[in-house]
């Protein structure tokens, strides 16, 4: 491939035209932006979240599914998968996150119920979705992009949470770490037909406690928090032909936070 061909490939505007893309957690902040971006790029969308709304448009199919009910999730996907035989890309974005104050507690108060639900949403759902649609992706030489976290490879710095109402429960870090290994396992198993990678954002700026933000930013070489745009740029790269020779990787989008 000569330089001119490389430039033309890079500038193509039809990477995702008529591609069928499944996005979980599509009604969350990041999920909604991902859906809007891929829709603007002429993709066909399958959107899943616990509660779906405001996506009634052409070439969009939406499903309200509670991922803590794994058996129901698998049953619905098996029932619907024939509709999506042309599936090209799965973005596993749904997460049982640390933003809900009801489960941000000291270790001795963290519940087994939250531990189980975090595993169901953050890890088990990825396994089920990948399993159900594996043949579709193999046939279409598709891709999977999992949304991880800096805690997929690092433990939280609890000093950053001191004197705030914020924290990071054990189940969140553990499930994201396990998701990292599942990403590598799927990449190996589904090769050479399917690329599987993970994007691990640092702390995304969302009006957190100013004390936390100051300490977090001071621990980050690029001296700012992550944005949704930072994450989406990397997802777009891993979803496109530009990353065809990349699989089993975890890309940290954290401003260098994890290197210190």
Rounded Cα gap, residues 181 and 177, in angstroms: 7
Please pick, among 39, 96, 161, 172, the residue that the annotation labels catalytic.
172
- With helix as H, strand as E and coil as C, how does the chain read? CCHHHHHHHHHCCCCCCCCEEEEECCCCHHHHHHHHHHHHCCCEEEEEECCCCCCCCCCEEEEECCCCCHHHHHHHHHHHHHHHCCEEEEEECCCCCCCCCCCCCCHHHCCHHHHHHHHHHHHHHHHHHHHHCHHHHHHHCCEEEEECCHHHCCCCCHHHHCCCCCCCCHHHHHHHHHHHHHHHHHHHHHCCCCEEEEEEECCECCCCCHHHHHHHHHCCCCCCCECHHHHHHHHHHHHCHHHCCCCCCEEEECCCHHHC
Annotated catalytic residue 216: no
Rounded Cα gap, residues 185 and 174, in angstroms: 17
Which tokens sit at 120?
């169901």
Distances (CA, A) of 139 to 56, 190, 195, 216: 29, 11, 13, 44
Nearest to 95 by CA among 201, 206, 166, 217: 201
Known catalytic residues are: 172
């Amino acid at each position: 491939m000569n330089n001119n061909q490389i430039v033309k490939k890079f500038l193509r505007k039809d990477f995702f035209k008529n591609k069928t893309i499944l996005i979980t957690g599509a009604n969350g902040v990041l999920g909604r932006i991902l859906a809007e971006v891929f829709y603007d790029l002429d993709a066909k969308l399958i959107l899943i979240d616990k509660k779906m709304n405001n996506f009634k448009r052409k070439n969009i199919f939406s499903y309200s599914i509670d991922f803590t009910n794994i058996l129901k999730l698998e049953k619905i996907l098996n029932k619907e998968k024939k509709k999506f035989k042309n599936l090209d890309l799965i973005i596993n974005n749904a997460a049982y996150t640390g933003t809900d104050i009801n489960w941000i507690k000291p270790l001795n108060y963290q519940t087994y119920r939250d531990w189980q639900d975090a595993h169901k949403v953050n890890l088990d759902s990825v396994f089920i979705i990948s399993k159900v649609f594996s043949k579709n992706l193999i046939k279409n030489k598709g891709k999977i992009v999992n949304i991880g976290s800096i805690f997929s490879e690092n433990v939280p710095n609890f000093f950053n949470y001191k004197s705030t109402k914020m924290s990071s429960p054990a189940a969140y870090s553990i499930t994201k770490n396990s998701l990292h290994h599942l990403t590598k396992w799927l990449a190996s198993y589904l090769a050479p037909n399917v690329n599987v990678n993970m994007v691990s954002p640092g702390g995304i700026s969302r009006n957190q406690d100013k004390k936390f933000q100051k300490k977090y930013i001071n621990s980050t070489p690029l001296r700012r928090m992550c944005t949704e745009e930072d994450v989406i740029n990397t997802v777009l790269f891993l979803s496109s032909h530009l990353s065809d020779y990349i699989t089993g990787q975890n890309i940290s989008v954290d401003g260098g936070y994890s290197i210190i």
